[in-house]
């Protein structure tokens, strides 16, 4: 059983229940299932596939949760970082993780743009007017249905190994001030949603 399949099962068992609440924005399990399929499809159009890491420089918001679970369905590896990271810290994690794309928002724009520099990486912007060269988040969600892109059981082990190596590298090989991909300060929205979805997806 993969995390992507747990989300599918949660959507089947409790389709109308709230999966994510972000202020006035809500998403039920069935809505989250559809949104993550669309975003996974959109990431695939950007060249992201199984085992690819994606840097997520977002605050705790509904798009963060959606991106996290879209990558679980795609077989990609989320690399969440603290949105308060300085440019050199963003650059360190970006380089050390080998991320193939970045997701960012107004609060992290300056740091991400400086960290990415002239790297040829897809940059997905969550917010109003995207910076030049960035892909608007809305473009990832254009295809509402999306494909069934859940990672298979056979793919799980190598993906998990690559993710483990990435986390180890990020937290052990550090400059003078060690950045970590531990997510934002306080409770992590993806972690909270993971606990909820694991509960409803695995309950028999």
Query: What pLDDT does residue 77 have?
Result: 96
Q: How far apart are CA 99 and CA 116, in angstroms?
A: 10
Which domain does 7 fall in, by range? 3-202
Query: What pLDDT does residue 193 have?
Result: 59
Three-state secondary structure call for residue 123: strand
At residue 127, what are phi and psi to the nearest 5 degrees?
A: 150, -155
Q: How far apart are CA 163 and CA 52, in angstroms?
A: 9
- Please say whether the dihedral angle defined by the alpha carbons of residues 104, 110, 111 and 114, taken in this order, is positive or negative: positive
Q: In which element (H, E) is residue 158 found?
A: helix 153-172
pLDDT tens-place values along the chain, 204 residues long: 677 777 888 888 888 888 888 888 889 999 999 999 999 999 999 999 999 999 999 999 999 999 999 999 999 999 999 999 999 999 999 999 999 999 999 999 999 999 999 999 999 999 999 999 999 999 988 764 444 444 444 443 344 444 434 433 333 334 445 555 544 444 556 655 565 565 555 555
Structural tokens at position 182: 């531990």
Domains contained in the chain, number: 1
Three-state secondary structure call for residue 56: strand
Query: What pLDDT does residue 185 have?
Result: 41
Task: Give the sheet arrangement for strand 77-80, strand by strand.
Answer: 77-80, 53-57, 101-104, 123-125, 135-136
0.85 cut: is pTM over it?
no
Structural tokens at position 76: 């990609």
Query: What pLDDT does residue 155 have?
Result: 41
CATH number of the domain at 32, please. Answer: 3.40.50.980
Query: What pLDDT does residue 90 have?
Result: 98
């Amino acid at each position: 059983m993969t995390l992507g399949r747990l989300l599918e099962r949660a959507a089947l068992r409790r389709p109308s229940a709230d999966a994510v609440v972000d202020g006035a924005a809500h998403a039920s399990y069935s809505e989250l299932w559809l949104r993550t399929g669309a975003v996974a499809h959109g990431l695939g159009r950007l060249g992201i596939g199984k085992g690819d890491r994606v840097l997520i420089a977002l605050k705790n918001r509904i798009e963060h949760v959606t991106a996290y679970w879209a990558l679980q369905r795609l077989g990609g590896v989320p690399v969440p970082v603290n949105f308060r990271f300085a440019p050199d810290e963003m650059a360190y994690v970006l380089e050390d993780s080998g991320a193939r794309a970045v997701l960012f928002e107004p609060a992290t724009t300056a740091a991400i743009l400086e960290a990415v520099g002239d790297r040829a990486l897809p940059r997905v912007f969550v917010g109003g007017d995207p910076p030049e060269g960035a892909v608007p988040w809305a473009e990832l969600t254009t295809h509402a249905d999306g494909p069934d892109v859940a990672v298979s059981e056979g793919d799980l082990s190598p993906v998990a190994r690559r993710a483990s190596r990435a986390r180890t590298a990020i937290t052990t090989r550090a400059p003078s001030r060690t950045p970590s991909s531990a997510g934002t300060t306080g409770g992590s929205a993806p972690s909270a949603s993971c606990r909820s979805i694991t509960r409803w997806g695995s309950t028999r």
